[in-house]
Amino acid sequence: MAARAYWQGQIRLALVSIPVEIYTATKSGAQIAFHQIHEPSGQRIKYEKVAPGVGAVEPDEIVKGYEVEKGEYVLLEQDEIDAVKLESKKTLELTQFVDADEIDVLYYERPYFVVPADDLAEEAFIVLREALRRARKVGLGQLAMRGREYIVSLKPCGRGMILETLRYADEVQKAQAYFREIPDSEPDPELLELAQTLIEKKARKFDPKGFHDRYVDALRDLIEKKKEAKGAKILEDPDKPESRGSNVVDLMAALKKSLNTGDAKPASKAKAPAKKAAPRKPAAKKRA
């Protein structure tokens, strides 16, 4: 079954319009879903939408409302909200181009794949993709999706392009408030060299397949144990020490020990040469 486009519209660069489709580039990973259960009866807890003094209400009786004063709401129908005219609902206009490293990682939110909507759009799509690639720039614009308008970035990715939603400035916390107390001092050169060596020792190409959610595995294991135990309580051994780093007093010694860990190969045991048998003494001649 073909994936359904998350958004359909056009990318506009000056007078050039390119029909495109956008698809979600990520998906939810493995998760363990828990439900709330009423323990005495074993029944699952359910939630009903209720109005004070009325009780449970039907979904078609519910509309959206904005509180203008305490207890006073402006009611809006969904079709009224959908009818709000905003050009970025159907058009992503690229208004600015920046170097990719100018955008702080804190602003990036969610990635989407961008593909040409049809064969006629392919030529203009490829021209834009390659122009961005050669200029080493990222395109910026604004796009309305699912009830809000986002700042978005556009950059080449293989044969296609990647669109990433960005956070607005007021959605990002200022780092200074958290980093202010950290001393602005130069590290010891020898310690720095040891740390760099340790980093280089563990450096390799990023492979996301080398990681998995161990917490999910542990929960599955717990569920299986609980199932076999017929509901009996299961707790980890409280006497088992937690795996955590010790309080490092001697940083130099700790770094040196980290570098040596796993490097020393066990010496192969060589066979000891066989001892030569001591020469036998000639037997003494018996006297006649």
> For the domain that residue 13 is a member of, what is the CATH number?
2.40.290.10
Greater confidence (220 vs 157) lies with: 157
Distance CA 278, CA 280 (A): 6
Residue 97 lies in a domain: yes
Residue 262's pLDDT band (cuts 50, 70, 90): low
Per the CB < 8 A criterion, the answer to whether 26 and 39 are in contact is no
- The total of structural domains in the chain comes to 1
Please check the confidence at residue 270 and state whether its pLDDT lies above 50.
no
Tell me which of 47-56, 80-89, 125-134, 240-249 is least confident.
240-249
Please check the confidence at residue 141 and state whether its pLDDT lies above 90.
yes
Give the CA count within 13 Å in the CB-facing half-sphere of 78: 6
Q: In whole numbers, what is the pLDDT of the chain averaged over residues?
A: 82
- Residues spanned by the domain of 113: 7-25+84-171
What are the pLDDT digits (tens) for 182-192? 888 888 888 88
Structure tokens at 34: 């828990």
Residue 223's pLDDT band (cuts 50, 70, 90): confident
Q: pLDDT above 90 covers what percent of the chain?
A: 32
Mark 32-56 as b/e (b = at least 16 C-beta within 10 Å). eeeeeeeeeeeeeeeeeeeeeeeee
Residue 288's pLDDT band (cuts 50, 70, 90): very low
Q: What is the pLDDT of residue 263?
A: 46
Residue 189 lies in a domain: no
Residue 49 lies in a domain: no
Residue 157 lies in a domain: yes
Tell me which of 68-82, 95-109, 167-181 is least confident.
68-82
Please check the confidence at residue 240 and state whether its pLDDT lies above 70.
no
Residue 72 lies in a domain: no
Residue 76 lies in a domain: no
Residue 111 lies in a domain: yes
Distance CA 155, CA 101 (A): 12
Tell me which of 121-125, 141-145, 152-156, 279-283 is least confident.
279-283
Please check the confidence at residue 214 and state whether its pLDDT lies above 60.
yes
* Torsion of Cα atoms, 75 then 81 then 85 then 87, to 10°: 140
Q: What is the pLDDT of residue 165?
A: 95
Distance CA 152, CA 138 (A): 10
Greater confidence (92 vs 199) lies with: 92
Distance CA 1, CA 93 (A): 31
Question: What does the pLDDT average to over 64-92?
Answer: 84
User: E strand or H helix at 200, and its extent?
Assistant: helix 189-201
Q: What is the pLDDT of residue 181?
A: 87
Distance CA 193, CA 205 (A): 22
Q: What is the pLDDT of residue 8?
A: 93
Q: What is the pLDDT of residue 2?
A: 62
Residue 132 lies in a domain: yes
E runs forming strands in the chain: 7-13, 16-24, 37-38, 43-44, 50-51, 55-56, 64-69, 72-76, 91-93, 96-98, 108-116, 138-145, 148-157, 160-166
Please check the confidence at residue 236 and state whether its pLDDT lies above 90.
no
Tell me which of 222-236, 237-251, 262-276 is least confident.
262-276
3-state secondary structure of 35: coil
Helices (H) and strands (E) in the chain, counts: 6, 14
Q: What is the pLDDT of residue 194?
A: 85
Q: What is the pLDDT of residue 114?
A: 96
Pick from 103, 101, 110, 109: nearest CA to 171:
109
